[in-house]
Structure 1
Amino acid sequence: MKSIKTILLGTTLAAGLAFFMGTTDAHADSLYTIQKGDTLSGISHKIKGDNSLIDQIVKANSLSDANMIFEGEKLTIPTVDGTAPVEPVAPVQEAAPVVEEAAAPVAAQAPADSSSAKEWIAQRESSGSYSATNGRYIGRYQLDASYLNGDYSPENQERVADSYVAGRYGSWEAAQAFWIANGWY
């Protein structure tokens, strides 16, 4: 009988502790796991509906470059004016185990400006050639042929590459950082 009382008391205490620990303060910050294609402005729009959280996210996470966020990275999202985020943030997920593979050494790290990051990518993708092809990938930036809509001119390649990088990464520096980490952009 004593053991049943002990078990019941222990279970009740454990349940109470779990409830207490599981409740959240309305003023607590949230964690957000960066998904593929996320940008700080996109995250701010998901949570607040505008760009007003970008500076707060940068500050809360001590980010040196707002354009350098990576898939799987966890960000602290500050509570806005004492209210919970408008839309629930993505649940914190455990990262899948990483299988390390031997990779070819990558040359020097990120240059300081967009034009040098852009050139760095072009040299690695096609040795700078506008006429390079690799299956369905065309030109200086090895863009999918469907992006170029049949116009393989250098001007169109430049225009489409700038648009692609701005939409996907936000900047050429961020695209370069992704390339360094993954071997493609």
Structure 2
Amino acid sequence: MNIKKIVLSTIAAFSLFAVSATAANASTVTVKSGDTVAKIASAHNTSVAAIKQANRLSNVNMIYVGDKLEVGGTTTNTTAAKAATKTATTTTSTTATTTNTNDSSAKAWIAGKESGGSYTAANGNYYGKYQLTKSLLGGDLSAANQEKVANNYVASRYGSWDKAKAFWLANGWY
């Protein structure tokens, strides 16, 4: 298993999608599937650094569908961690309606392969039941956050836990 590939592939995947942000008002956009901070910045004649600063983003490669980003250079009081938690909760609710028994067993299977099912398993920068990066977890290593972030990651990257398991079987990682 090569966990580093997960992070690199995730970052690459985010950068390959087309921009589809819609303006909530003159200086705020709502992140849509496939958006990157660089593409949003380009579309709104601003810089990645300005968006990063205005939204207090710790990692510009970790934005989530539904996040509202200030693009006019004004500072927002909403932190990236709050937006990520809100988005992960929304994604979990959305995917819960489409989760089937196979997805549940695929999720358990991946957890078994990645960490033996342990929420405290550590491997360098990778942590927890699903061996996610600590930065992706936003510093919150709780079991509840690991579940939310893992569901969001799998939904955005693979669409389902079944598809994530199929990828794992083909590549030795997800």
- Given the two structures, how large is their TM-score scaled by the length of structure 2? 0.43
More helix by share: 2
User: Quick check: which has more Rg, 1 or 2?
Assistant: 1
- Given the two structures, how large is their TM-score scaled by the length of structure 1? 0.41
